[in-house]
Amino acid sequence: MPDNDQQLVDQQIRYYRQRAPEYDEWFHRQGRYDHGPDHTRLWQQEIAVVRAALDGLKPAGRILELACGTGLWTQQLARYDGALTAIDASPEVLALNRARVRSAAVRYRQYDIFAWEPDEPYDFVFFGFWLSHVPLSRFAAFWDLLRAAVAPGGTVFLVDNRFHADSSARNHLSDPGRVTQRRELNDGRAFEIVKVFHEPEELAARLEPLGWCGDYRMTANFFIYGSASPAR
């Protein structure tokens, strides 16, 4: 349903569509995201911590990835013993994802998550670097959507940025006190996007009243990650 944040949500979709060919530079700490070799080493170590935590949950069955992007996590999810559905609003990132993952078994769907309705119950739902883009005005509705998507006994796993001054590009200012941030593409075009930096205790305090039980953690510098399930 359109609300005051609809324009931001639309702008965010446009931003990621335009950013698709340069998106991975962020993940690989290249170009404007290169903060030096020590930073990159820590970043990679902390990504490995999150990947191991995801592995440790042994995802299986009907797996859903929301806001799958270019496939940096889809390639891991596709290795599990299950049927993977990957959703994103951007046809550009979906094309890059297909090319990276190269699996006919992955079911790709182009949807605006805020307008999507679950088509079947999923045993495992993953979203990476997505929750921070959910406006707080839509936070509860998003978790209601997840409840509708998760099968009985199912699990949600998330990873996202915790606030760190050097997580983004060298020419981006990240302000932990704001819930939107200005982001630029390599060619200088600028967009305003939603960016909410969650922390484990704050996330638990938001999710418990919504009926979710979870285990949320932080890596040493860069990431928040964890799993949650609907409380019984």
Ligand X SMILES: C[S@@+](CC[C@H](N)C(=O)[O-])C[C@H]1O[C@@H](n2cnc3c(N)ncnc32)[C@H](O)[C@@H]1O
Which residues are near ligand X by CB under 6 A?
9, 12-13, 16, 67-69, 72-73, 88-90, 93, 112-114, 128-130, 133
Nearer to ligand X, 18 or 221 (CB): 18
Q: How far is the CB of 82 from ligand X (least distance, A)?
A: 18
Minimal distance in Å, beta carbon 49 to ligand X? 15
Q: Which residues pair with 157 in a beta bridge?
A: 126, 227
Among positive and negative, which fits the CA dihedral 70, 225, 137, 151?
Answer: positive
Compare residues 72 and 224 and give the one whose CB is closer to ligand X.
72
Q: Closer CB to ligand X, residue 94 or residue 150?
A: 94
CB of 17 to ligand X, least distance (A): 7
Task: Provide, rounded to whole angstroms, the least separation between the CB of residue 232 and ligand X.
Answer: 29
Residue with the closest Cβ to ligand X?
69
Which residues, 6+ apart, have CB-to-CB distance to 62 below 8 Å? 82, 83, 85, 120, 121, 122, 123, 124, 151
Residue closer to ligand X, measured from CB, 58 or 109: 109
Nearer to ligand X among residue 76 and residue 155 (C-beta): 76
- Name residue, tokens 């019984």: 232
Question: Please, what is the minimum distance in Å from the beta carbon of residue 64 to ligand X?
Answer: 12
Spell out a b/e string for 116-137, using b for 16 or more CB atoms within 10 Å of the CB, else e: eebeeebbbbbbbbbbbbbbee
> Which CA distances in Å does 32 have to 28, 123, 161?
11, 38, 17
Distance CA 174, CA 191 (A): 14
Residue type, 124: F
Residue 155 or 161: the one with the smaller Cβ distance to ligand X is: 161
In the complex, what is the shortest distance from the CB of residue 205 to ligand X, in angstroms, rounded to a whole number?
A: 24
- The answer to whether the Cα torsion of 109, 115, 120, 121 is positive or negative is positive
Q: Are 132 and 195 in contact (CB under 8 A)?
A: yes
